[in-house]
Amino acid sequence: MNIASLLQGVASVSWLAVVGVLALLIVRASRQQGTKGFGSLLIGVLVLAILMTTVGAGLVFLQPEERGVVISAFAPKGYREQALQPGLRWVIPFAETVVKYPISKQTYTMSIAPSEGQIFGDDSVTARTQDGQEIFVDASVIFAVNPANVIDIHIAWQDRYDVDLVRPVSRGIIRDAVSQYRVEEVVSSKRFDMTKQIRANLEKKLADNGLLLIDFVLRNITFSDEYANSVEQKQIAEQQALQAKFVVESKKQEAEQARQVAQGKADAVVIASKGDAEARLIQADAEAKALKLIADVVKNNPALLQYEYISQLSPNIQVMLLPNNAPFILPLPNTNSPLTTPQ
Protein backbone atom coordinates (compact mmCIF):
# COMPACT_ATOMS: atom_id res chain seq x y z
CA MET A 1 0.00 0.00 0.00
CA ASN A 2 1.43 3.41 -0.98
CA ILE A 3 1.35 6.59 1.11
CA ALA A 4 -1.45 8.18 -0.90
CA SER A 5 -3.71 5.21 -0.35
CA LEU A 6 -2.77 5.13 3.33
CA LEU A 7 -3.70 8.80 3.78
CA GLN A 8 -6.98 8.27 1.99
CA GLY A 9 -7.70 5.39 4.36
CA VAL A 10 -6.91 7.55 7.37
CA ALA A 11 -9.19 10.27 5.98
CA SER A 12 -12.04 7.78 5.60
CA VAL A 13 -11.59 6.57 9.17
CA SER A 14 -11.48 10.19 10.37
CA TRP A 15 -14.81 10.94 8.72
CA LEU A 16 -16.31 7.87 10.33
CA ALA A 17 -14.99 9.13 13.64
CA VAL A 18 -16.61 12.53 13.00
CA VAL A 19 -19.94 10.84 12.32
CA GLY A 20 -19.60 8.69 15.41
CA VAL A 21 -18.71 11.57 17.74
CA LEU A 22 -21.52 13.70 16.28
CA ALA A 23 -24.04 10.90 16.79
CA LEU A 24 -22.88 10.34 20.37
CA LEU A 25 -23.11 14.07 21.06
CA ILE A 26 -26.69 14.20 19.77
CA VAL A 27 -27.74 11.16 21.81
CA ARG A 28 -26.30 12.54 25.02
CA ALA A 29 -27.86 15.93 24.40
CA SER A 30 -31.27 14.33 23.81
CA ARG A 31 -30.99 12.47 27.08
CA GLN A 32 -29.90 15.68 28.83
CA GLN A 33 -26.62 14.09 29.71
CA GLY A 34 -23.39 16.02 29.96
CA THR A 35 -21.68 16.83 26.69
CA LYS A 36 -18.69 18.60 28.08
CA GLY A 37 -15.56 17.85 26.02
CA PHE A 38 -17.48 16.26 23.16
CA GLY A 39 -17.55 19.52 21.25
CA SER A 40 -13.77 19.86 21.33
CA LEU A 41 -13.41 16.21 20.35
CA LEU A 42 -15.77 16.67 17.45
CA ILE A 43 -13.84 19.69 16.23
CA GLY A 44 -10.52 17.89 16.51
CA VAL A 45 -11.73 14.83 14.64
CA LEU A 46 -13.33 17.05 11.99
CA VAL A 47 -10.10 18.99 11.47
CA LEU A 48 -8.15 15.73 11.20
CA ALA A 49 -10.61 14.34 8.65
CA ILE A 50 -10.47 17.51 6.54
CA LEU A 51 -6.67 17.58 6.71
CA MET A 52 -6.27 13.91 5.77
CA THR A 53 -8.81 14.26 2.99
CA THR A 54 -7.03 17.30 1.59
CA VAL A 55 -3.60 15.73 1.76
CA GLY A 56 -4.91 12.44 0.38
CA ALA A 57 -6.53 14.25 -2.54
CA GLY A 58 -3.27 15.98 -3.38
CA LEU A 59 -0.97 12.95 -3.26
CA VAL A 60 -0.89 10.53 -6.18
CA PHE A 61 1.29 7.44 -6.44
CA LEU A 62 2.03 6.03 -9.90
CA GLN A 63 3.32 2.51 -10.45
CA PRO A 64 6.36 1.97 -12.77
CA GLU A 65 4.04 0.74 -15.54
CA GLU A 66 1.75 3.80 -15.27
CA ARG A 67 1.66 7.38 -16.52
CA GLY A 68 -0.76 10.05 -15.35
CA VAL A 69 -2.69 12.76 -17.18
CA VAL A 70 -3.48 15.68 -14.88
CA ILE A 71 -6.85 17.31 -15.46
CA SER A 72 -6.46 20.79 -13.98
CA ALA A 73 -8.89 23.62 -13.37
CA PHE A 74 -5.98 26.07 -13.42
CA ALA A 75 -4.32 24.97 -16.66
CA PRO A 76 -5.17 27.02 -19.78
CA LYS A 77 -6.02 23.88 -21.80
CA GLY A 78 -7.71 22.11 -18.90
CA TYR A 79 -4.83 19.66 -18.48
CA ARG A 80 -1.14 19.70 -17.80
CA GLU A 81 0.89 19.32 -20.96
CA GLN A 82 3.35 16.96 -19.27
CA ALA A 83 2.28 13.54 -18.04
CA LEU A 84 3.07 12.50 -14.50
CA GLN A 85 5.95 10.05 -14.16
CA PRO A 86 6.05 7.02 -11.79
CA GLY A 87 6.41 7.69 -8.06
CA LEU A 88 4.69 9.82 -5.42
CA ARG A 89 3.40 13.04 -7.01
CA TRP A 90 1.55 16.13 -5.73
CA VAL A 91 -1.39 17.79 -7.42
CA ILE A 92 -3.65 20.62 -6.27
CA PRO A 93 -6.29 18.99 -4.07
CA PHE A 94 -9.83 19.10 -5.44
CA ALA A 95 -8.72 21.29 -8.35
CA GLU A 96 -6.72 18.64 -10.20
CA THR A 97 -7.40 14.98 -10.82
CA VAL A 98 -5.16 12.31 -12.33
CA VAL A 99 -6.19 9.77 -15.00
CA LYS A 100 -3.85 6.81 -15.00
CA TYR A 101 -2.85 4.97 -18.20
CA PRO A 102 -0.91 1.67 -18.36
CA ILE A 103 2.14 1.61 -20.62
CA SER A 104 2.73 -2.14 -20.23
CA LYS A 105 1.94 -4.63 -22.99
CA GLN A 106 -1.71 -5.29 -23.74
CA THR A 107 -3.29 -7.92 -25.97
CA TYR A 108 -6.45 -7.59 -27.99
CA THR A 109 -7.66 -10.94 -29.35
CA MET A 110 -10.27 -11.54 -32.04
CA SER A 111 -11.22 -15.20 -32.14
CA ILE A 112 -13.92 -17.52 -33.42
CA ALA A 113 -13.88 -19.27 -30.04
CA PRO A 114 -16.53 -17.70 -27.76
CA SER A 115 -14.35 -17.22 -24.68
CA GLU A 116 -10.91 -16.41 -26.10
CA GLY A 117 -11.30 -12.79 -27.16
CA GLN A 118 -12.29 -9.53 -25.50
CA ILE A 119 -15.77 -9.84 -27.00
CA PHE A 120 -17.75 -12.92 -26.00
CA GLY A 121 -18.83 -15.00 -28.98
CA ASP A 122 -17.50 -15.23 -32.52
CA ASP A 123 -15.28 -12.18 -33.04
CA SER A 124 -13.13 -13.54 -35.88
CA VAL A 125 -12.42 -11.31 -38.89
CA THR A 126 -14.51 -12.22 -41.92
CA ALA A 127 -12.58 -11.52 -45.14
CA ARG A 128 -12.67 -12.43 -48.81
CA THR A 129 -9.68 -13.51 -50.83
CA GLN A 130 -8.74 -12.30 -54.29
CA ASP A 131 -10.64 -15.20 -55.87
CA GLY A 132 -13.78 -14.52 -53.83
CA GLN A 133 -13.46 -17.20 -51.14
CA GLU A 134 -14.71 -16.30 -47.66
CA ILE A 135 -12.37 -17.02 -44.78
CA PHE A 136 -12.38 -16.31 -41.04
CA VAL A 137 -9.20 -15.03 -39.43
CA ASP A 138 -8.29 -15.32 -35.74
CA ALA A 139 -5.67 -12.78 -34.69
CA SER A 140 -4.11 -11.14 -31.64
CA VAL A 141 -2.67 -7.63 -31.53
CA ILE A 142 -0.04 -7.08 -28.85
CA PHE A 143 0.49 -3.36 -28.26
CA ALA A 144 1.36 -0.72 -25.67
CA VAL A 145 0.61 2.92 -25.04
CA ASN A 146 3.51 5.11 -26.11
CA PRO A 147 4.59 6.98 -22.93
CA ALA A 148 5.35 10.07 -25.01
CA ASN A 149 1.77 10.16 -26.36
CA VAL A 150 -0.26 9.50 -23.23
CA ILE A 151 -1.87 12.94 -23.28
CA ASP A 152 -2.75 12.68 -26.99
CA ILE A 153 -4.36 9.29 -26.38
CA HIS A 154 -6.38 10.71 -23.52
CA ILE A 155 -7.64 13.57 -25.67
CA ALA A 156 -8.44 11.41 -28.69
CA TRP A 157 -9.51 8.08 -27.21
CA GLN A 158 -9.38 8.20 -23.40
CA ASP A 159 -9.64 4.59 -22.17
CA ARG A 160 -11.47 3.36 -25.30
CA TYR A 161 -8.36 2.98 -27.48
CA ASP A 162 -8.53 -0.83 -27.48
CA VAL A 163 -12.17 -1.12 -28.58
CA ASP A 164 -12.43 2.06 -30.68
CA LEU A 165 -8.94 2.06 -32.24
CA VAL A 166 -7.10 -1.26 -32.10
CA ARG A 167 -10.08 -3.44 -32.99
CA PRO A 168 -11.49 -1.61 -36.05
CA VAL A 169 -8.09 -0.65 -37.46
CA SER A 170 -6.68 -4.19 -37.24
CA ARG A 171 -9.82 -5.73 -38.74
CA GLY A 172 -9.75 -3.34 -41.69
CA ILE A 173 -6.06 -3.93 -42.38
CA ILE A 174 -6.54 -7.71 -42.20
CA ARG A 175 -9.39 -7.56 -44.73
CA ASP A 176 -7.34 -5.38 -47.09
CA ALA A 177 -4.37 -7.75 -46.93
CA VAL A 178 -6.44 -10.90 -47.45
CA SER A 179 -8.10 -9.41 -50.55
CA GLN A 180 -4.70 -9.26 -52.30
CA TYR A 181 -4.05 -13.03 -52.20
CA ARG A 182 -5.72 -16.16 -53.51
CA VAL A 183 -7.12 -18.56 -50.97
CA GLU A 184 -4.41 -21.21 -51.49
CA GLU A 185 -1.75 -18.50 -51.04
CA VAL A 186 -3.31 -17.26 -47.81
CA VAL A 187 -3.01 -20.67 -46.16
CA SER A 188 0.31 -21.78 -47.61
CA SER A 189 2.94 -20.04 -49.73
CA LYS A 190 2.00 -16.41 -49.05
CA ARG A 191 0.86 -16.62 -45.43
CA PHE A 192 4.15 -15.25 -44.09
CA ASP A 193 4.16 -12.41 -46.62
CA MET A 194 0.57 -11.52 -45.77
CA THR A 195 1.31 -11.51 -42.03
CA LYS A 196 4.35 -9.33 -42.61
CA GLN A 197 2.26 -6.89 -44.66
CA ILE A 198 -0.44 -6.70 -41.96
CA ARG A 199 2.15 -6.10 -39.27
CA ALA A 200 3.81 -3.26 -41.18
CA ASN A 201 0.53 -1.47 -41.98
CA LEU A 202 -0.83 -1.95 -38.48
CA GLU A 203 2.38 -0.68 -36.89
CA LYS A 204 2.20 2.54 -38.90
CA LYS A 205 -1.50 3.09 -38.19
CA LEU A 206 -1.16 2.55 -34.46
CA ALA A 207 1.93 4.75 -34.28
CA ASP A 208 -0.03 7.60 -35.86
CA ASN A 209 -2.46 7.32 -32.95
CA GLY A 210 0.05 7.06 -30.11
CA LEU A 211 0.28 3.27 -29.73
CA LEU A 212 3.26 0.95 -30.15
CA LEU A 213 2.76 -2.34 -31.96
CA ILE A 214 4.70 -5.07 -30.15
CA ASP A 215 3.58 -7.98 -32.34
CA PHE A 216 0.80 -9.22 -34.58
CA VAL A 217 -0.12 -12.90 -34.31
CA LEU A 218 -2.13 -14.59 -37.05
CA ARG A 219 -3.60 -17.32 -34.90
CA ASN A 220 -5.79 -19.31 -37.26
CA ILE A 221 -7.61 -19.28 -40.61
CA THR A 222 -10.97 -21.04 -40.97
CA PHE A 223 -12.84 -21.67 -44.23
CA SER A 224 -16.51 -21.69 -45.01
CA ASP A 225 -18.18 -25.11 -44.91
CA GLU A 226 -18.58 -25.17 -48.71
CA TYR A 227 -14.93 -24.44 -49.39
CA ALA A 228 -13.75 -26.83 -46.67
CA ASN A 229 -15.77 -29.62 -48.31
CA SER A 230 -14.35 -28.79 -51.75
CA VAL A 231 -10.81 -28.80 -50.34
CA GLU A 232 -11.45 -32.18 -48.74
CA GLN A 233 -12.75 -33.60 -52.02
CA LYS A 234 -9.77 -32.18 -53.86
CA GLN A 235 -7.37 -33.75 -51.39
CA ILE A 236 -9.15 -37.09 -51.74
CA ALA A 237 -8.89 -36.86 -55.55
CA GLU A 238 -5.19 -35.97 -55.28
CA GLN A 239 -4.57 -38.91 -52.97
CA GLN A 240 -6.35 -41.22 -55.40
CA ALA A 241 -4.32 -39.83 -58.30
CA LEU A 242 -1.12 -40.38 -56.33
CA GLN A 243 -2.22 -43.91 -55.53
CA ALA A 244 -2.95 -44.62 -59.21
CA LYS A 245 0.41 -43.17 -60.18
CA PHE A 246 2.08 -45.35 -57.58
CA VAL A 247 0.33 -48.43 -59.01
CA VAL A 248 1.45 -47.52 -62.55
CA GLU A 249 5.02 -47.03 -61.37
CA SER A 250 4.88 -50.36 -59.57
CA LYS A 251 3.67 -52.10 -62.73
CA LYS A 252 6.41 -50.42 -64.72
CA GLN A 253 9.01 -51.61 -62.23
CA GLU A 254 7.60 -55.15 -62.34
CA ALA A 255 7.67 -55.10 -66.17
CA GLU A 256 11.22 -53.78 -66.15
CA GLN A 257 12.21 -56.45 -63.66
CA ALA A 258 10.64 -59.17 -65.86
CA ARG A 259 12.41 -57.74 -68.91
CA GLN A 260 15.72 -57.78 -67.06
CA VAL A 261 15.14 -61.40 -66.03
CA ALA A 262 14.25 -62.39 -69.60
CA GLN A 263 17.25 -60.51 -70.93
CA GLY A 264 19.44 -62.31 -68.41
CA LYS A 265 18.09 -65.69 -69.46
CA ALA A 266 18.58 -64.85 -73.14
CA ASP A 267 22.12 -63.71 -72.46
CA ALA A 268 22.74 -66.92 -70.54
CA VAL A 269 21.46 -69.02 -73.49
CA VAL A 270 23.68 -67.10 -75.91
CA ILE A 271 26.68 -67.51 -73.66
CA ALA A 272 25.94 -71.26 -73.24
CA SER A 273 25.54 -71.67 -77.02
CA LYS A 274 28.80 -69.90 -77.62
CA GLY A 275 30.44 -72.15 -75.03
CA ASP A 276 29.06 -75.30 -76.66
CA ALA A 277 30.19 -74.16 -80.13
CA GLU A 278 33.65 -73.35 -78.87
CA ALA A 279 33.77 -76.72 -77.05
CA ARG A 280 32.82 -78.56 -80.26
CA LEU A 281 35.46 -76.69 -82.23
CA ILE A 282 38.04 -77.57 -79.65
CA GLN A 283 36.88 -81.22 -79.64
CA ALA A 284 36.90 -81.44 -83.47
CA ASP A 285 40.34 -79.90 -83.57
CA ALA A 286 41.57 -82.40 -80.98
CA GLU A 287 40.01 -85.30 -82.86
CA ALA A 288 41.61 -84.12 -86.14
CA LYS A 289 44.98 -83.89 -84.47
CA ALA A 290 44.50 -87.36 -82.95
CA LEU A 291 43.61 -88.89 -86.32
CA LYS A 292 46.59 -87.25 -87.90
CA LEU A 293 48.84 -88.74 -85.21
CA ILE A 294 47.26 -92.20 -85.74
CA ALA A 295 47.72 -91.95 -89.50
CA ASP A 296 51.35 -91.06 -89.03
CA VAL A 297 51.91 -94.05 -86.71
CA VAL A 298 50.14 -96.49 -89.02
CA LYS A 299 52.03 -95.21 -91.99
CA ASN A 300 55.30 -95.97 -90.28
CA ASN A 301 54.08 -99.34 -88.83
CA PRO A 302 51.63 -101.15 -91.22
CA ALA A 303 51.50 -104.32 -89.10
CA LEU A 304 50.12 -102.31 -86.20
CA LEU A 305 46.76 -102.02 -87.89
CA GLN A 306 46.50 -105.83 -88.31
CA TYR A 307 47.44 -106.28 -84.68
CA GLU A 308 44.74 -103.88 -83.49
CA TYR A 309 42.22 -105.60 -85.77
CA ILE A 310 42.97 -109.05 -84.41
CA SER A 311 43.00 -107.83 -80.77
CA GLN A 312 39.45 -106.53 -81.19
CA LEU A 313 38.00 -109.90 -82.38
CA SER A 314 37.48 -111.37 -78.90
CA PRO A 315 39.21 -110.83 -75.64
CA ASN A 316 39.15 -114.65 -74.97
CA ILE A 317 40.89 -115.72 -78.21
CA GLN A 318 44.59 -116.14 -77.64
CA VAL A 319 45.59 -118.57 -80.55
CA MET A 320 43.74 -119.33 -83.77
CA LEU A 321 44.99 -122.09 -86.19
CA LEU A 322 43.98 -122.07 -89.76
CA PRO A 323 44.91 -124.34 -92.70
CA ASN A 324 47.75 -123.06 -94.69
CA ASN A 325 45.63 -122.63 -97.73
CA ALA A 326 42.43 -121.35 -95.90
CA PRO A 327 41.51 -117.72 -95.98
CA PHE A 328 40.91 -115.56 -92.83
CA ILE A 329 37.43 -115.74 -91.40
CA LEU A 330 37.20 -112.00 -91.79
CA PRO A 331 39.00 -109.99 -94.32
CA LEU A 332 41.82 -107.96 -93.00
CA PRO A 333 42.00 -104.32 -93.92
CA ASN A 334 44.12 -103.52 -96.88
CA THR A 335 47.28 -102.38 -95.24
CA ASN A 336 48.77 -101.38 -98.52
CA SER A 337 46.16 -98.69 -99.22
CA PRO A 338 47.19 -95.33 -97.88
CA LEU A 339 45.16 -93.73 -95.02
CA THR A 340 43.55 -90.41 -95.64
CA THR A 341 44.07 -87.95 -92.88
CA PRO A 342 41.81 -85.03 -92.22
CA GLN A 343 43.16 -81.70 -93.36
Contact yes or no for 122/222 (Cβ under 8 A): no
One-letter amino acid of 208: D
- Lowest mean pLDDT across 58-62, 262-266, 313-317: 313-317
Is this structure's pTM higher than 0.75? no
Please say whether the dihedral angle defined by the alpha carbons of residues 294, 295, 299 and 300, taken in this order, is positive or negative: negative
Contact yes or no for 175/127 (Cβ under 8 A): yes
Q: Summarize pLDDT for 193-213 with one digit per residue, the tens.
A: 999 999 999 999 999 999 999
Residue ranges, comma separated, of all CATH 3.30.479.30 domains in the chain are 106-223
Relative to beta strand 125-128, strand 106-110 is unpaired
Pick 106-223's CATH classification: 3.40.50.450, 3.30.420.110, 3.40.50.2300, 3.30.479.30: 3.30.479.30
Contact yes or no for 100/129 (Cβ under 8 A): no
Q: Summarize pLDDT for 289-327 with one digit per residue, the tens.
A: 777 777 777 777 766 666 666 666 555 555 555 555 555
Q: Summarize pLDDT for 8-55 with one digit per residue, the tens.
A: 788 788 888 888 888 887 887 777 776 677 778 878 888 888 888 888
Closest CA to 203 of 135, 254, 142, 150: 142
What does the pLDDT average to over 233-258?
A: 76
